[in-house]
Structure formats: structure tokens, C-alpha cells
A = this chain, B = another copy of it.
Amino acid sequence: MNLKQLSQLLGLSQTTVSRALNGYPEVNAETRRRVLEAVRETGYRPNRAAQRLATGRAGSIGLVMPTADGIYSDVHFGEFLAGLGDEAVKHDFHFVINPSHPDDEAATCRKLVASGNVDAIFLAYMREKDPRIPMLKSLKTPFVVHGRTIGVPTDYPFLDIDNTGAFYDAARLLAQLGHRHFALINGPDHLAFAMRRKKGAKRALAEHGLTLPEECIYHARMTDEQGFQAMERFLRLDTPPTAILCSSTVLALGAVRAINQAGLKLGQDISLIAHDDVLPMLRPENFSVPLTTTRSSLRAAGQRIAQRLIAGILNLEVLPQQELWKTDLIVRASTGPAPAGKPA
């Protein structure tokens, strides 16, 4: 069943049927009703390829998935993708997922746009002065950034969470609990979100006359094993930190393991706050000692970005171009007052 057949069935022209379907105003209400009904009865579905050809829209959004042989596939990415998918499927949009070595993202992204296969680009894993921003601005392809760059004007569409604020809040809470020795297990140091989190933590500490020494900062991919190694290293320091900030519950997983292994009690000997992306497979309340977290749903972010991307392509309502989401600080058992007099 195609448009032609459908229009013949209705005794209308293809033009009118097409317009009725696409919500154009110049079609009689009654006519539109008939068309819609016929669609329901016949199960007609427009051919997407023909639509794409006729409109010049690809009907798909492109994303670069940082992954390569031997390189991690990020859990966080999967969760975000689920959100994107939720929304995209509602509008019959496709994805073009272009795997790329993390270091080639800019080039891959350019190729993806040049392929003409996508009419919008989703950008993530932002770096300082990320070259992809000026590149995409110079092209006409719409895009939305998940996160923000650092060091360049943020005059582009983005959705980010308040990373600085989140880690400021977390660090302040721990400082108020009397902790004096902090450590941060963070994401890769070239990524903007990690920089902001560090900044937020440092700011809160500074307000309490505290610092975050270099040896108490660990940057790495956000995996369990990295969390473990980071924590092990911290515990070997002369004055091990009693307050840990952690950029992901995945990192926290490893960190907690190291803490247990060292025979320390989480929430007593040592406190930890992790950022929680609301990964359904790893819930902070299910840790052996439930984790205090700063929370913001990655999946919700994915949904929202898809919404904006698609609205932009289809010229639907105009959505805000820049959004900064606050995070929730949720206190559970992994945070407690600083242990008393430290054994010098």
C-alpha cells in the first residue's frame, strides 16, 4: 500500500493525502478525518526512503561511539543510548552509530556529517576547547552537545549537568562532616566534565581552608578496576584520605572493594560520595553500604537530547537550546563524620 493506491482508494489526489498526513492546514477537516481513518484501516505507512529523498532529510541522527578494539565500551554510553532510543523510536528516527577510536572523534564526526546520512549530530565526551564545536558550527548540520566544553564561549546547543555544583555540594558535605583529607577518583583528565568536577570539589574545599593535593587526584576511565587501583593507591599514602569523591558508581564499585579489602569500614573509617548516573544495573542503594550520591539520570538526558534534536530537525516547537541540570545530593550510609584523632 503506497500513497498512490491510498489516494485512489479515497478518490483524492496524492497531494491532498500527503498534506492531510503531514498536518498541513489547507485541507478540510472532514477530508483529513477520512484520510486518517483510511490509514488506520489499511495500515498504510509512508516509505521512509521516499520521504527522505523528497524532503532531503535523512531521518536519522548520528553519533560517534568511542570504542575500538581493546578500548572500553562505556557502560554510561549504553545507558545514554537507551534514552536516545526511547525518544527516537517515537518519531521513527534512525541512528547512525559510527564507532571510532576516541582520539579520532573529530575526524569521524566530520565524515559522518559529510556522508549526508544524518541530519543532526549528537556530540559527547567533550574536551577542553573541543575542535568539534567550531567544526559543526561551520557546517550547517544541527547538533546538540551532551556536556560543555571549557575555554570557549558556550554559544552552542548543549545539555549538561551541573558537574561543578554536584562536586561542590558533595565536597562541602564531607567537609562539614569534619573530613580534612580528601581524594578524588575522576574520569579521564582530558574530558570537560572531569575538569568541572575537580573544580567544584576544590572550590568547596578552599572555602573550608582545605586543598586537594595532586597525589589525591586520580584520573582514569570509569571502570571498576580503575576505581580499585585508585583507592589502593590512596590508601598507601602517608596520610590516607578519609573522604573520597568518585565520578561514577562504577568507579565506586572498585573503590569500595579496595576499602573493604583494607579492612576499613565505609561510612565510618572512610566516607565516599559517588556521582550516580542512575545506571539500572548498579544502584547505589544496593551497595553493601548504601552509597551517598549526587544523582542525575543519564537516560533522561538521552531522552531530552533526542527530543531536542528531533524537534530541531522537524521544526516542531522551539525547545531551549541550553540546559543545565542540577543534580540531587542523596545522603545514604557511605558518609559519616570524620574519624576521630588520626593515628599519627
Contact = CB atoms under 8 A, between A and B. Distances in A.
Interface of A: 43, 45, 47-50, 52-53, 58, 60, 65, 67, 69-75, 77-79, 81-82, 85-86, 88-89, 92, 94-99, 114-117, 221, 223-225, 228, 250, 253, 256-257, 260-261, 279-283, 286, 288, 299
A60 B221 CA distance: 32
A94 B92 contact: no
A274 B84 CA distance: 32
19 contacts: A43-B114, A45-B114, A48-B116, A53-B53, A65-B81, A67-B82, A69-B299, A73-B78, A73-B81, A74-B78, A75-B78, A78-B78, A81-B81, A86-B99, A89-B97, A89-B98, A94-B95, A95-B97, A225-B282
Given A85-B67, A260-B257, A260-B261, A73 B280 contact: yes
B96 A250 contact: no
A321 to B, nearest CB: 26
Contact of A94 (B60, B225, B283): B60
Please indicate which of the listed interface residues A85, A86, A261, A283 has the most CB atoms of chain B within 10 Å of its own CB. Answer: A85
Please indicate which of the listed interface residues A74, A82, A86, A221 has the most CB atoms of chain B within 10 Å of its own CB. Answer: A82
A117 B89 contact: no
A71 B280 contact: yes
A51 to B, nearest CB: 8
B250 A73 contact: no
Which 4 A-B pairs have CB atoms at the shortest separation, nearest pair first?
Answer: A78-B78, A49-B52, A225-B286, A223-B281
B53 A116 contact: no
B250 A280 contact: no
A230 to B, nearest CB: 13
A278 B49 CA distance: 37
A88 B85 CA distance: 18
Contacts of A260: 257, 260-261
Given A280-B73, A282-B223, A81 B53 contact: no
Nearest to A115: B45
A89 B96 CA distance: 8
A285 to B, nearest CB: 9
Please indicate which of the listed interface residues A88, A223, A228, A281 has the most CB atoms of chain B within 10 Å of its own CB. Answer: A281
B117 A94 contact: yes
Contacts of A73: 78-79, 81-82, 279-281, 299
A74 B281 contact: yes
Contacts of A116: 45, 47-48
Contact of A49 (B58, B65, B82, B280): B58
A95 to B, nearest CB: 5
A99 B85 contact: yes
B257 A225 contact: no
Contacts of A85: 65, 67, 97-99
Nearest to A60: B94
A77 B75 CA distance: 10
A92 B117 contact: yes
Contacts of A89: 97-99
Contact of A65 (B60, B67, B82): B82
Nearest to A283: B225
